[in-house]
Amino acid sequence: MRTITLTFLILAVALAMPAVAAKVLVLGFDGMDPQLVAEYREQGMMPSFDRVLENGGQLLPLGTAMPPQSPVAWSTFITGLDPGGHGIFDFIHRDPATMAPYLSTSVAMGPADFWKLGDWRIPRGTGSVENRRRGVAFWEMLDDALVDATVFKVPANFPPTPSRSRTLSGMGTPDIQGTYGQYTYVTDDPVAERDLSGGVLRAVYLADGRCETVVEGPANVYREGAPLSELPLVINVDKDRRAALVELAGERFLLREGEWSEWLTLEFPLVPVLKSVRGVARVFLMETDPYLRLYVTPVQIDPAAPEMPISTPDDYSRDLAEALGPFFTQGLPSETKALEEGVFDDGDYLSQSDLVFAERKRQLAFELGRFTTRDDGFLFFYFNYPDQDCHMWWRGIDPQSPLHAACAVEHRDRVPEIYQSLDAVLGGVLDQVDPETMVMVMSDHGFAPYLRSMHVNAWLREHGYLHLREGVEPGDVHYLEGIDWSRTRAYAIGINGLYLNLIGREAHGIVVPGAEASELIDELVRELEATVDPGMGELAIKYAYRADELYQGAHRAIGPDIVLGYHRGWRGSNESALGEVPAEVFVDNEQKWSGDHCQAADEVPGILLTTHPIAISDPTLADFAPTILKLFDIEPRPEMIGRDMFEAQTARR
C-alpha cells in the first residue's frame, strides 16, 4: 500500500513540476510575404532581418493553411490541427438545416427568456459567448506545465480560451454592439447620404455652426425590441479656425482638422441607476469646410471594465489599461471599411492606421519589460500588419491594379514603409532580449494582387448546377434565399467554399451521398480547374481541392466539399461569399481592397524567421504548436499533425 501511495505521490509531484527552462518569443506579423521580404531585403530596407541571418538564423517560406484565410490559418497555428480538427473552414459557415450563413469563429447568445413589465424586460438568466474553434490551444498545455506565458491578440481566440496564461483576444473580438466594428460618420454634406456597411451615417444640419446627433451603443435588452442605446453628441463648428468644439460623454474638447481626441469613456445607461455598459472611443475631425466631416471610432469594449470576456485572467485587460490607458480592443482595428466606403480618404486612413500601430508598439514595450526580467517563459505578440495595409495599399505597388494610377504618389510606398517599420520592431526586440532567447518571426500567409473576382454561384448557375426559383432574377438572391433547392446540386458560401446539396445533410438535399456525390465532386473539380476568365484569357482556379482528401479530424464533415484555390490575381467574390448569385461570373476588382491572400495555399506562403536554425526545409503553420511545446519539453498531443521544427523527423501523422 505504501508503495502505491508513494508511486502516486511521485507522479503527482512530477506532473506539478515546471517544464524545462526555456525562453521563447514569437512575433506574429500578419500577412508578411516572402517575395516582398526578399525584395525589400535586397534594397537594404530590412537590416534587422539581415542581422538575424548574419548571426546564424534562418529565413524560410512558411506553409499556410488551406484556405489561407486568417481565422483558418491562426486556428491551425493555435492547435496544430487542420480545419477538419479545429472546425474553422472559412470566415463564413452555413447551417445546413436552415441554409442560413453565420460567422464561423464565435457566437453570442442572449438570455433565453424574460419577465415583462410594460416596456421593460427583465432577463431570466444571462447570455453567453462561445468560441467555435475546437482543439486544444498550445498555451493550455503550457499552463499545465507551469510555463509563464503571454499570448497577445492572437486571432481566432474570442472569447479567450480559459487559461491561467495572460491572453488578450484578437481578430474576432467585436465592438460594444457585438459587430466587427460600426463607426459613426457625422456630416452635413448633402451628397454623402447613403447606406454604409461598416458604419452609421449621421446626416446633420448646422444651425449657427451647431448640430446635435447621437453615438449608438449596445442593444438595450431590457427594453422591448432591444433598441440601441444612445449618447448625445454635440458639435460646434468654427470654419474660420477650421476647428470644432465637441461634447460627448460629459467631455468637452477642441479638435482642429486632422486631430484625434484622446480616448473617451462612454457609459450607456440601460436601466436607470441599476445597469449601464461602458465602452471607449476616439473622435477624429477630418474637415470643417466646405462640409463638416467627423468620425467616431466603433465603440470598443472597455478594457478596464469589459462587458464581454476579452482576456485571461479577467484582470489582465484591466492591468493593461491601468498601465497604458484605454486601447483598441476590436479585433482588427484599422479602419478599412471607412476607406473603402469613401468616409476616409487615403490620408485619413493612414492617420488612423498609424495610431493603431503606435499603440501596439507601446503594448509590446510593456510586455517586453515583463518578459525580459524572467529567466524563462513564452511570449507571443501580434501585429495586424502588413495584412490590413496590404489589403488596402497593394494598389500602390502594383501597376496592374485598376486603382494604381489613382493612388497618390506620396502614398504608393505604404507597403514598403510598413515592412521597414516592422523590421524596426524586430530590431528593438533583438536589442532587449538575451542571446539565449529563441526569437521567431512568422506570418500566417503572404499576399498577392487581387485583380478579378469570381462569382462562384454565378458560375454554378451558368453550368447548370444551381437554379433560381421561378420569378427570381440574378442579383435578387441574398444569403442563399431565392435558390430552387429542388434542382440545385451545388452552391457556394464563404470565400473559398463550395458545397453539394446533399440528401440527409442539407435541408432540401437532392444529391445522394456516396458514389453519386463523389462523381459530382470529381466533375466539378475538372470543370472548375479548366475555367478560363475570358477577361484575362487565363485559368482562374489553380486547384479545386477535394475536402475529403484535404482535411482530417472529427469536424471535417461540417466543412465544404470542395475548397477553391485561386491563381494569383483572382479571388472568390464578396457576393458569392454571402450566398448571392450575380449575373456575371467574372468582374474587375475596382475596390481599394486591392491585395488579398484567399488564393491557393502555395501562391501565398507566409514567412518564418528564426534566430536558431531549424531542421526541416518545409515548415508549416501546423508545426508551430508541437514545436513550441517541445521547446519546453512538453509532449504534443497525438492528434496534432505538425512536426517539431528543430528535430529532423517525418510528420507526426
What secondary structure, in 3-state letters, does 91-109 show? CEEEECCCCEEEECCEEEE
CA count, 13 A, side-chain hemisphere, 197? 6
Task: Count Cβ neighbours within 10 Å for each residue of 401-431 and write b for 16 or more, e otherwise.
Answer: bebeeebeeebeebbbbbbbbbbebbbebbe
How confident is the model over 102-118, as a mean pLDDT? 70
Distance between CA atoms of residues 637 and 168, nearest Å: 24
pLDDT at 195: 84
- Mean pLDDT is lowest, of 95-104, 418-427, 432-441, 585-594, for 95-104
Using alpha carbons, select from 591, 592, 601 the residue that is nearest to residue 566. Answer: 601
Distance between CA atoms of residues 73 and 28, nearest Å: 12
Judged by phi (left if over 0) then psi (alpha if -120 to 50, else beta), residue 118 lies in left
pLDDT at 308: 92
pLDDT at 127: 65
Q: What's the gap between Cα 188 and its chain centre?
A: 33
| Res. 3: pLDDT tops 60 | no
How confident is the model over 292-306, as a mean pLDDT? 97
3-state DSSP: the chain helix, strand, coil percent, rounded to 5? 25, 30, 45
| Res. 112: pLDDT tops 70 | no
pLDDT at 217: 95
| Res. 315: pLDDT tops 80 | yes
pLDDT digits (tens, 9 = 90+) for 204-247: 999 999 999 999 999 888 888 888 999 999 999 999 999 999 99
Mean pLDDT of all residues belonging to the chain:
92
pLDDT at 13: 40
Distance between CA atoms of residues 322 and 318, nearest Å: 6
CB atoms within 10 A of CB 14: 8
pTM score of the predicted model: 0.93
pLDDT at 191: 86
State the pLDDT confidence band at 505, using cuts at 50, 70 and 90: very high
How confident is the model over 58-70, as a mean pLDDT? 97
Using alpha carbons, select from 295, 251, 298 the residue that is nearest to residue 279. Answer: 298
pLDDT digits (tens, 9 = 90+) for 242-284: 999 999 999 999 999 999 999 999 999 988 877 899 999 999 9
- CA-based Rg of the chain, rounded to a whole angstrom? 26
Distance between CA atoms of residues 310 and 168, nearest Å: 6
| Res. 395: pLDDT tops 90 | yes
* Residue 209 φ/ψ, nearest 5 degrees: 80, 10
